[in-house]
Structure formats: C-alpha cells, structure tokens
Amino acid sequence: MYSHDIVIVGSGLAGLRAAMELVGQLDVAVVTKVYPSRSHSGAAQGGVAAALGNVDDDSVEAHIYDTVKGSDFLGDQDAIEILCSDAPRTIYEMEHLGCPFSRTDDHKINQRAFGGHSYLRACFSADRTGHALLHTLVEQTYKQGGRLRVYSEWHMNRLIIQDGVCRGVVVMDIKTGKLEVLRAKAVLFASGGYGQAFKITSNAAANTGDGIVAAYRAGVPLQDMEFVQFHPTGLYEHGILLTEGARGEGGYLINADGDRFMSRYAPSKMELGPRDIVSRSEQTEINEGRGAGPNKDYVLLDLRHLGKQKIMERLPQVYNLAKDFIGVDCTEDPVPIQPTAHYSMGGIPADNDCQVYLDENGEHVEGFFVAGECSCTSVHGANRLGTNSLLEALVFGRRAGKKMLDAEPGLARAAVDEERELAAARDEIEVLYAGDGSEDLNAIRDELKETMTYQLGVYRCAEDMQQAQHTIKGLRERFRKVQVKNRGKQFNLNLLETLELSNMLEYSELIVDGGLAREESRGAHFRSDFSTRDDVNWLRHTLAFRTDDGGHELRYKPVTITRFQPEERKY
Amino acid sequence: MAVSKVTFRIQRFDPAVDREPHDQDFEIELPPGITILKALNKIRAEKDPTLALRYSCGSAICGSCAVRVNGHARLACKTQVSDCTTNGVLRVGPIGNLEVLRDLVVDMEPFLASLDRVKPYLVAGNGAAPEYERKQSPDEFLKIDPSTTCILCAACYSDCNVLAVDDDFVGPASLAKAHRFIFDSRDVDTADRMRAISEKTGVWDCTHCGECSTRCPTETKPLERIEEIRTKAMTDGFHGNPGARHALGFRETVGKRGLLDENYLPARSMGFLNLPGLLSLVPIGLRMVMRGKNPPLIPHSIDKVDEVKKTFARFEELRK
Amino acid sequence: MKYALYTGCVANGAGRENLIATRLACEKLGIELVEMTDAACCGAGVINEDNPMVADILNARTFSLAEAQGLDIMNICTTCQGIHRKAQRKLDGKPDYMARVNAELERDTGRRYKGEVVVKHFYEVLLNDYGLVRLKEKVVRPLTGLKLGAFYGCYATRPPEVNDLGNPDDPDELEKLIEALGATPVRYDERLKCCGFPIAMLNKENSMQLGGNAIASAQQAGADAMVTPCPLCHLNLDAYQPDIESRVGRKLRMPILHIPQLVAMALGVSKDAVRLDTHIVRPTGMLAS
C-alpha cells in the first residue's frame, strides 16, 4: 500500500493542471493507464476558447452567452460564468508556460472562428492545439525534480469510499499485473470520456469510462449520461476527428449532389453551426438518400477551394489524416466524413470547486474531486461548443487543485482496510477468469458498439432505445460467460479489455435509460418522437444512482440559471 | 470484399517463460485498406489473446503504437498492411534500442529520461500572473512549429545508429526537443542550452545517418533540427569541440582551395594543441603513407578556384 | 554515353583507387568521362550545416559547370550523390531561394544554375543508362564464387525522397549489379546501417563500433568481401579496420571493395590495375594477386 496526500487519476490536461497546483506543497501522485503524453487531451485539434479579443471585439459576456445557448440551456450558468471569466487568464498562463500558439501579424495569440461561437475566440496552435497544450504541461512535469510521482501504465480498478469519505483507489500495474492500494487524503478523477461504447468514435481505446464507473460503483451518481456529442467530421469508417477548424478556415460540407446542405439547416451559421445541429443535418442528408459513396453512407468535407498553401499551413494534420488513413488528398478531392461519437457531456456531478456530489441535494463526498471530461459541473449542458473542453480541463483542473490544497488541512488520511480492498479487486478479476468461455469478449463488445452507434446515435426514438435496452441487458448476461483467456501477468490486454468492457456495459445502460426517460430533444440528445425542447418538464439534469440489486434509478435536479432565460436555439 | 491472406511474423517474448525473443507466424485474412494496428488487434481477437502491444488513439497523435515493421520503425495505426508485405509476409517486432518487456512492448523509461537531459521546458524568467501573452511573430512560431509536432513515439530513438552502439548519446528525440527551446524566441536560456548541447554525447555525436528523419511520422524530422542546431553553433561561435572544429576545417580548406585538405582536417578537428588526439592520428596516417594513398602534402586547388574564394570571403564578411 | 565526372575530394588522396578503377571500367564500357577539375567540394553535409547557403551556392556552381558543357553529372561517391540530390531538390522546390542562390552564383561566376542537369551515381548509370543486360555481355571474367556483401551506406538510402531505389527500406539494386558481374550477393542485417565515418574524428569509439557491427554482420552471413558505392564508407571500413579490430577485440580481415573496382575486374581489368594494393586490408582468396 502506498500513501500520498493527493492521488490524481488521469494525466491529461485536467489531471496535470491540478498536479501543477499541488506539487511542491503536498505529496501528489498521478495515476494513468497510459503515459501522460499519450493522454487523449492531445488529440484535440481545433482550439481553446477565450475572450481575448485579439482579432475582434469579443467579451466574456458573449462567451458565456454562446456557451449557455450552445448547451441548449441545460448548462449551469454559474459554472459557465467561471469557465468563461477564467479563460483569458488561463490562456496567458499556458502561453507563459511555453505553449506554442499560432500568432497574428501583430504578434498576439491568433484566434479563429469556431462552431457556435459568435466571435473569433478559438486560440490555436496550427491544428494541434490539444497536443500543444498537453505537451506544455508534460514539459512542466520534467521541471519537478522528482516531487511529482507519476504511476504510468497503472489501471484504476476501484474507488474506495467508506462512510461518505473517499480514502483512495485500488490500482493495477499493467506491467506486472500487481494490485496495489493507493491511500490518500483526497482523490481527484480526471479520467476522461466514454466514447468507446460506440463503434464510430474519435475517442482513444483508453476512453472506456473507467473513472465514472468506479465512482458509480462506489455509490456516486452519474449525471446527464444520455448527452453524447457526435462530432460532424469524423473520418469515414475510422471515426478519427477532422478538426472543426477545417470548417473554421472555410471548408464546406456537401452531399452527393455537391450541395452545401447546411443552407437548409442553419442558414446564418452554415458549416459553423454547433455540432449537434451539423451532425443531425449530415445524418438527415444520409437518411434521405443524398449521402455519397457506393453505400451512400457519408457526406463530404470539401477543402479544395482553400488552396494547398493554406491547407498545409493551417490544417496540416487534416491533410495527413485524410491521406494516411483513407488515401484521400484533400487538396484535390473532398474527404468522406460521418458523425462520430466525440465528447461525453455526462459524468460525475460536482460543484464549482470540483467537489463531488453524493446526491441531488448538494451532499458531498468528502475528499473526492473531479475535473475535465469525466466531470459534469455542468458547463456544457446538453451540447458542448468546440474549444470549450480544453478550456474546461485547464480551468477546473486548476480549481480542483486549489480546492484540494485549501481543504487538505481538514482532511484526514482515513483508514483503509487494505486486505479487504485488495480482495475485492482480486475477486472482481477472478470472476472474469471463471467464466465458462462460451461467449466471446470481442463479439459482445462489437455488438454493444453497433447498438450504441445505430440506436443511441444522432437520431433517437423510443423503439430504438427500448431495443437497445433489451440488447444491452442481454449482453450483460452474456458477459458473465466471457472468460479471460490470457493468464499472463504482464501487459495482459485481454484482462484489461474485459475489465473495460464491463465498464462500458454498465455506463451504456445509463446512456440508454437516461435517453429513454428524457422525452424531449435537447442539444445532442435528439428524438424523432419528441423532437422539440420541453423546458416545462425537462429543464433538469438527470442523475443515475446505482441500486443494491445492480440496477439503477433516475432522479433529477434543477439547472442553475443566473443570466439567460431559456430561449429558442436558432443559428 | 476482396480479402487476402497475409502472414504476420511477429516477434514474441514472454519474460516468464522465454529466455530469448522468437518469431511466431500468424496467417490471417485481411480486407483491403487495413492498417497494421487493426490487423494486430484482429490477431489478438481471433488467434492469440496473449499478444501484447501498445496503442491508444489510433490516429497518429498519441505516439503509443510505434513498432518495427520489416526492421524499420513505424506507427502501426497509420501504416497500411499492403504497403509492407512481400510475398504475403510482413515482419513486426518491438522498436529498437530499448529493452523488450513483453512482445511488442518496450521499456520507455530510458527514452523519457533522455529528454530530461535537455531541460525540456521553457525557461523564461518568473513573474506574477501574466496579464497578456508574450509577443511572438508568426515567423518565430514557424521556427519552432516542426519540433513542437513531436509525439514522443520513439521511432527515431528506435532506429538511431548511434544509440545502437552508445546509450549515452542523448538521442534524436532529445535533440529535436532541445531545438524546440533553443529556437523559441521566448526562451532566455539559449546560450546555456547551446553550450550543453555542444558537449560530448550531444549534438555533434550524431552520425548523420538520416534514420531519425526517415522514420519520424510527424514534421519533427530530427536530423533537420540537428543540422539547424549545428548551424547556430557555428554562427554563434560555440567552437570549442571536435565537431565544430571539423566544420571549421572544411570552411578553411574548401574556402581556400575548393577541396578538402585531408591532411589538415583531422588535425584541425582534434585541435592543434591536443597532443594525445594528434598522436592518435599517427597510425592511420602511417597506414595511408605505406599504401601510397596519403593526400598530397601540397594540397591541390580546383580550377577556377577564385570563384569559390569570392563566395567564401563574402560570407565571412557577413558573419562579422 | 558521356558524363561530366564529379570526383569529390577523397578521390585525389585517400580514395584514389576508386577514381582509377572508375576510369578503367568506363574505358572498357565505352563511357566517356569529362573530369570536372573545376568543381568544388559538395560540402559532405558539413559545410551544409556550417553555412547552408554557401553549400547550396557551391553545389549550384557544380551544376552550372556541367550545364555549361551540356552534360549530366556522374558521381563516384554516394555521399556526394546524396548531397547533390538534396541540394537540387531544395533549389528546384523553392524558386525564391533558387533565385537568391543564383544571384550570388552569378555575381561570383557569371553563370546560373538552370535546373536542367541530372545527377547520377556510377552504379545508377550502369543499372539505368547502360543496362545490366548490356553489362553482362561485356563481362569477360565473371567473379564466380565470390560472395559479396553490398554495403549501401546512409546517403544512398536516406532520405527516400532523394534516391531512385525501388524500395529504399529493402533495396536490391547493388545485389542485382553483383549478380550481373557473376558474383554471389550476400544479404545481411546491417547492410543499410551507418559505417560511422562522419564521427570518425569526433567520437572514435562509436565510429569504430558502427563499422565493426557492419563487418561482423556481413561476416556472419558468409560474405568473403564487402563492396560499397561510397569511398567514405570504404575509408572507415578499410583504412580504419585495424582500429575497428581494436574496438571489437578480434581480427576481422574483411576486404572492402569499391563498386568500380568490381566492375572493372569483371570486365577484364587486372587486380593490380584497379589498385587493390592500396587497400589496408589485403584482399584474400580469389581477389588476392
């Protein structure tokens, strides 16, 4: 058993930023199932939002409004105020730490257009903004001279909460298979999203919701799980993200007939409408037979008119991705794209200082914090605007760090029954080895992903979701008969994937049930059978609580509204 | 959909049971357009669940999946199987110059530690919370743009010829990382960085073999960055080492005669006051004399040498 | 067939047997060579780092000299060849930069680089211009039974954009040439690695170890001798072989040949004439006089 003051699970932007706030003052450890530079924050491309006003007359107020509207009014406005107010400071701080930003002619940080933002506020580093920010923080870890302990390639199996107090985590060293308890006064989860439950996703293989499920199993509710954002421009069949920046730089979306179809769906914003609207527009074109390709199952991103020089300078990664993965030269041909499961608005509920809620009444778990994509504060509500996620991770990563530093003197390193926790973790694993093997891990996973993509996708309806509910229940039953075939201890991907599938099955049920229960369309959750937004009945967050029989119950809590009353969301 | 049979010859190693790595063949049917990563995962799913490899994003940004394909480092996620098969076979092994932990997984610690040797973070002076960004021109950004694309995949480190014989060499990734800060207009530590990088195991220990840039999957291209560091070292006067003196030797002789003076060059590189170094040149010198291959003592000039002298002279002036 | 022969710096001294053998081989083949006695050093990668623009001017100057004669350039060193191709690619790909270089060049020489000249190595001339079928017909003393390991060297294979190898990661051009001359090509693991020459004076231990790895690998695969298209590789592997032996702690005794020597001998030129006697490592077996 190892002891630290603070244990952070997740080494992306939120986790590392929190660590920077604490290192040198407390004994802080970061646990990650990959290496920090491999965290999925690095895949973000288009930009990070802040009302710097470097290229136009932007304001924090406008940023707040755009974000609230973008959230389809489900976002908690006090949290959004914090997000947007802290944005300029955050960007300047990252620049000072060394983050390379693309620059204007007068040498300031350059900013460009982005979907749903009414001003040019996306600060960017070519089209690798997430990579630039992540590596800046990774560089900072080299400055710490051993004061920051990083457990790389350790999987987090269990969260230890006992008597309302968070005491640590149980982790497994992927290199050796060894289980350990990490005891702490406070634990921060910055463990990212859950897009891997979908077949077409931009998410890394690591994004299997380990953190949210561990919290959920430890008695913490999960909020707004049904809100999954589908990014409009995922590379056909791979789901790899082609940045929204491509549209920000002037790219067109066209159907098989060469029409810029967005004129019919978002006439004023066109390709720069918010993601949910653009994704649905694409799906509609495909559903109505105007999709391109032999199976008519994709639309096209056309960059040709931007010219080779602009593409190579502003969108080099887009160029390389299209060429390397599907052999398309985007300077000469339009690129096949389809909506891809991209961002998880849902997650672990927390207050504006990142302290986790135990229920809908404001009760907290002592010593448990969350930040970044795995949290739900909620700054994104029913739909996230692009460039706000990198911002959220930095702003709330820092806030979580500050709060933990502040709270630490009052937190006890509560007792942990090491043997019991290790035994529970071991049992969980033994069960997976004990399956009779009549079911196949990969078949179940593939079926889950197909179900989620086609029945919990851009368009939803009761029939589809009920079918999905039924399917997933069946998959959970069949999952018991899966047997881990690899008995090795080192780098046992077979075991890891089986643990991850168990997580995916668990949270997928919450997505389906939350979606089925929510009889309205809001943001990324669109139902063809309830196609309008219903603020009278549904202006509220969904909270899913695990029940003793392994099922769950849904409860609700209100949205915090400060400045902007809900209005019709048109672009 | 047309499928083809491909044999993957994969290097396996299980430290629990193997003394040595060994190859294992997997014959598998693959659809066209499939990447090596997807194929490896197919093998794991259908043939052997014990195969170990690293991967995460599947989109060439996280750097996890570098492997050696037919002996050369590549990212598995963005490499087409069809580009790498000869007679239906392709070989996959772990990347080089790092200890194999299990199958295709290597110990990344020495690689990550090598970065530590070049102070891989901006040094810009402390201060209160910044109110605005530091200024930097678009051209200044372009100078560091290539080296900031590095995804730490270690493909360059894997195939570096010098690291294969000397693990004290700081390595191409570290040199590219050093470049990123040396050329960042906001960094104030340039002189120290240049001094440090000019020492033994640093930038002059690269043998210029080009493997790093050839294997690099991003725009980082370490060899080009190494060349730029060396150019700066020559321009800024960091000349107190054999590598820089070697370059001065070229400048001095080619500038005078259009050709290298092979008698002068080795001595110049060693340093004229470096007695042990100079003495170490004697054996090879003698060998060449005995075979009648010693370069002419009175060095030879090219025809029209004045053209060359003019160019060198003018650039010498510009240097001052 | 007529070429402007770019000899490079080493050809006058430490690698003179390469130039001698080239002249003899080309005489037998009827390839006319006009030696570029006015061409300057290619920079060898070193001047190119010291002052990139000066190196580009020197190379543009070389190109302009050949263009003035209306001839393509033939190299006998793959380092020169690689550097020339890199320079050409840089100039041809950046018209603005080429204009600046030409301005300097014109100022000092009155000539400009037109972008017309083609630069080839001797082995490329044989494979592509002369043709192996024709070459085979001229072979009078096939090198039957000689097991040769081709050592390509860095500049012949990397970067892949500046060479014309079919598969730079697994080339067979030199092996084909060896076969055409009647010898047996031997492939070995280290044939595409670095000989260590660039750091011979800068980090001798590493340089010698690299050379040692290459030779040991060829030996293990059964090669009687190694052959290389780069006289700098030849220098490191042959002239420094005693130092390599000190480093690896055992005798290697691996003869190292230049491509033109091989070709000349197969065409009937005597071993003495191709100056095998200048090598540090005495040729053995069928190569011995």
- List of chain B residues whose C-beta atoms are within 8 Å of the C-beta of residue C205: 166
Residue C285's Cβ-count burial label (10 Å; 0-12, 13-18, 19+) is exposed
What secondary structure does DSSP assign to B72-115, as a single string? EEEEGGG-BGGGT-BTTEEEEE--SSS-EEETTEE--HHHHHHH
* CB < 8 Å to B62, chain A: 34, 37-40, 42-43, 204
Contact C17/B293, CB-based, under 8 Å?
yes
Examine the domain organization and report whether B51 and B101 are in the same domain.
yes
Domain end among B74, B106, B138: B106
Predicted local confidence at residue C118, as pLDDT: 97
- Answer yes or no: do C29 and C108 share one domain: yes
Residue A269 has pLDDT above 90, yes or no: no
| Structure confidence at residue B128 (pLDDT) | 60
The secondary structure of B206-264, three-state, reads CCCCCHHHHHCCCCCCHHHHHHHHHHHHHHHCCCCCHHHHHHHHHHHHHHHHCCCCCCH
Q: Are residues B144 and B221 in the same domain?
A: yes
- Contact of B251 with chain C, judged by CB distance below 8 Å, is answered with yes
In this structure, the answer to whether residues B113 and B209 fall within a common structural domain is yes
CATH number of the domain where residue B70 is located:
3.10.20.30
Q: What is the pLDDT of residue A146?
A: 85
- Residue C289 banded pLDDT, cuts 50, 70, 90: low
Separation CA C186–CA C188 (nearest Å): 7
Are C151 and C117 members of one domain? no
Using CA coordinates, name the residue in chain B closest to C53: B315
The answer to whether the beta carbons of residues B223 and C161 sit under 8 Å apart is: no
Q: In this complex, do C158 and B302 lie within 8 Å of one another by their Cβ atoms?
A: no
Is residue C162 domain-shared with residue C216, that is, in the same domain?
A: yes
pLDDT of residue C91: 97
Contact B207 C38 (CB under 8 A): no
Dist CA C188 CA C263 (whole Å): 22
With beta carbons under 8 A apart, name residues in chain B contacting C239. 284, 287-288, 293
Q: Do C169 and C274 lie in a common domain? A: yes
B/C Cβ contact: 3+ pairs below 8 Å: yes
Distance CA A248, CA A244 (A): 6
Neighbours of chain A (3+ CB pairs under 8 A): B
B190 or C289: which leads in pLDDT? B190
pTM of the model: 0.95
CB pairs B-C closer than 8 Å:
178
Interface contacts A/B by beta carbons within 8 Å: 162
Residue B150: list chain A partners with CB under 8 A. Answer: 135
Q: Which of B50, B134, B148 sits opposite A95 (nearest CB)?
A: B134
> How close does chain B come to C138, measured CA to CA in Å?
30
CATH number of the domain residue B148 falls in: 1.10.1060.10
**Is residue C109 located within the same domain as residue C165?**
no
What mean pLDDT is predicted for residues A520-536? 96
Closest CA–CA distance from residue A74 to any residue of chain B (Å): 30
Residue of C nearest to B208 (CA): C198
Sequence-ordered strand ranges (E) for chain C: 2-6, 32-35, 72-75, 119-121, 147-150, 184-185, 225-228, 256-258
- B 49-78 residues with CB < 8 A to C: 70-72
Please give the residue range of the domain that contains residue C82: 2-121
Same domain membership, residue C110 and residue C15: yes
Q: Give the relative orientation of helices C78-93 and C52-69 as an angle to the nearest 10 degrees.
A: 100
Of B165, B300, B303, the CB nearest to C38: B303
- C187 part of contact set with chain B, CB < 8 Å: no
Pair (C167, C105) in one structural domain? no
**Of residues A38, A139, A485, nearest to B56 (C-beta):** A38
* C272 interface with B at CB cutoff 8 Å: no
**Is residue B188 within 8 Å of B119, Cβ to Cβ?**
no
Q: Chain C contact for B259, CB < 8 A?
A: yes
Whose CA is closest to C104, among C73, C48, C59?
C59
CATH number of domain containing C27: 1.20.1050.140
Closest chain B residue to C109, measured at CA:
B307
Matching residue, tokens 């003018």: B314
Chain B neighbours among A 171-210 (CB < 8 Å)? 175, 202, 204-206
Residue located via tokens 């809590």 = A557
The reply to whether B102 and B8 lie within a common domain is yes
Domain boundary among C88, C121, C154: C121
Provide the shortest C-alpha distance from residue C44 to chain B (in Å).
9
Q: Are B217 and B259 within one domain? A: no
CA distance A325 to chain B (A): 6
Q: DSSP E strands: which ranges in A174-305?
A: 179-183, 186-189, 222-223, 228-235, 252-254, 299-302
Tell me: cis bond preceding A389? Omega within 30 of 0 counts.
no
Cβ of residue C286 closer than 8 Å to a chain B Cβ:
no
Q: At A446, which amino acid appears?
A: D
Among the listed residues A324, A112, A224, the one whose alpha carbon sits nearest the alpha carbon of residue A538: A224
For residues C243 and C251, is the Cβ–Cβ distance under 8 A?
no
Touching pair A, C by Cβ (3+ pairs < 8 Å): no
Q: Which of C72, C88, C121 is the last residue in one of the domains?
A: C121
Domain contains C286:
no
Q: How far is A554 from A544, CA to CA, in rounded Å?
A: 5
Alpha helix (H) ranges present in A124-237?
Answer: 129-141, 210-217
User: What's C180's domain CATH number?
Assistant: 3.40.50.11810
Q: What CA–CA distance (Å, rounded) separates A411 from A168?
A: 13
* A472-486, A490-504, A519-533, B266-280: range with lowest mean pLDDT: B266-280
Same domain, C66 and C20: yes
Residue C126 included in any domain: no
**Mean pLDDT across chain A, nearest whole number?**
95
Q: Based on the fold, state whether residues B58 and B141 are members of the same structural domain.
A: no
> Quick one: pLDDT at residue A326?
82
Q: Report the pLDDT averaged over residues A243-263.
A: 92
Asked if A320 reaches chain B (Cβ–Cβ under 8 Å), the answer is yes
In this model, does residue C106 exceed pLDDT 70?
Answer: yes
Nearest to B165 among C45, C108, C209 (CB): C209
Q: Does some domain include residue C198?
A: yes
Query: C99 in contact with B at a CB cutoff of 8 Å?
Result: no
Chain A residue whose CA is closest to B126: A96
Percent helix, strand, coil in chain B, to 5, is: 40, 10, 45
**Side chain identity, residue C12:** N
C14 touches chain B (CB under 8 A): yes
ipTM over 0.90: yes
Evaluate whether residue C50 is within a structural domain. Answer: yes
Chain B neighbors of A97, CB-CB under 8 A: 121-122
- The answer to whether residues B117 and B189 belong to one domain is yes
Both B208 and B252 in a single domain?
no
Residue in the structure block whose two tokens are 């560089």: A139
Is C9's Cβ below 8 Å from some Cβ in B?
yes
Residue B188 structural domain: 109-236
In a domain, C131, yes or no: no
Give the per-residue pLDDT at B293: 87
Which residue does chain B place closest to A137, by CA atoms? Answer: B121
Are residue B222 and residue B118 in the same domain, yes or no? Answer: yes
Q: Between chains, do B122 and A321 touch, taking CB under 8 Å as contact?
A: no
How confident is residue A325, by pLDDT bands cut at 50, 70 and 90?
confident
> Of B106, B141, B171, which closes a domain?
B106
Domain assignment of residue C221, yes or no:
yes
Domain count, chain B: 3
* Contacting residues of B for C48, CB less than 8 Å apart: 227
Domain identity same for C94 and C225: no
Residue in A43, A92, A100 nearest the CB of B148: A100
Q: What is the pLDDT of residue A370?
A: 98
Q: Across residues A362-369, what is the average pLDDT?
A: 96
| Mean of the per-residue pLDDT values of chain C | 95
Q: What average pLDDT does this structure show over A171-195?
A: 97
| Closest Cα in chain C, distance from residue B18 (Å) | 23
User: What's the pLDDT at B296?
Assistant: 82
Task: Identify which has the larger pLDDT, A391 or A146.
Answer: A391
Q: Are residues C163 and C267 in the same domain?
A: yes
Averaged over C97-125, what is the pLDDT? 96
- Is C158 in the same domain as C270? yes
pLDDT one digit per residue (tens) for chain B, 320 residues? 467 999 999 999 999 999 999 999 999 999 888 899 999 999 999 999 999 999 999 999 999 999 999 999 999 999 999 999 999 999 999 999 999 999 999 999 999 999 999 999 999 876 666 889 999 999 999 999 999 999 999 999 999 999 999 999 999 999 999 999 999 999 999 999 999 999 999 999 999 999 999 999 999 999 999 999 999 999 999 999 999 999 999 999 999 999 999 889 999 999 999 999 899 899 999 999 999 888 888 888 999 999 999 999 999 888 87
Burial of residue B123, with CB atoms counted within 10 A of its CB: 0-12 exposed, 13-18 middle, 19 or more buried: middle
Total domains in the fold of chain C: 2
Please state the rounded mean pLDDT for residues A389-399. Answer: 98
Nearest CB among B60, B101, B132 relative to A92 is that of B132
In a mutational test of the B interface, the residue from C201, C238, C241, C282 whose CB has the highest number of chain B CBs within 10 Å is: C201
Q: Is B258 on the interface with C (CB under 8 A)?
A: yes
B209 at interface of C, judged by CB pairs closer than 8 A: yes
- Enzyme catalytic residues of A: 275
Judgement on whether residues C51 and C151 belong to the same structural domain of the protein = no
* pLDDT score recorded for residue B126: 65
Q: Coil, strand or helix: which one is C245?
A: helix
State mean pLDDT over C129-156.
96
- Do both B230 and B253 map to the same domain? no
User: Which tops the pLDDT comparison, A203 or A322?
Assistant: A203
In terms of CA atoms, which chain A residue is nearest residue B219?
Answer: A316
Give the angle C177-C182-C186 at the CA atoms, nearest 5°. 65
- Answer whether residue C287 is part of any domain: no
Name which of A5-9, A316-320, B216-220 the model is least confident about.
A316-320
The DSSP bridge pattern shows strands A179-183 and B100-102 to be unpaired
pLDDT at site B127: 60
> Do the domain assignments include residue C162?
yes
Which residues in chain B are closer than 8 Å to A337, comparing Cβ atoms?
none
Of B304, B312, B314, which has the smallest distance from its Cβ to C38's Cβ?
B304
Residue where a domain terminates, one of B194, B215, B236: B236
Quick one: which of C136, C254, C112, C131 has its CA closest to C195?
C254
Interface contact B303-C37, CB threshold 8 A: yes
Predicted pLDDT of residue A248:
87
Confidence of residue A422 (pLDDT cuts 50, 70, 90): very high
Report residue A257 as tokens: 């007939």
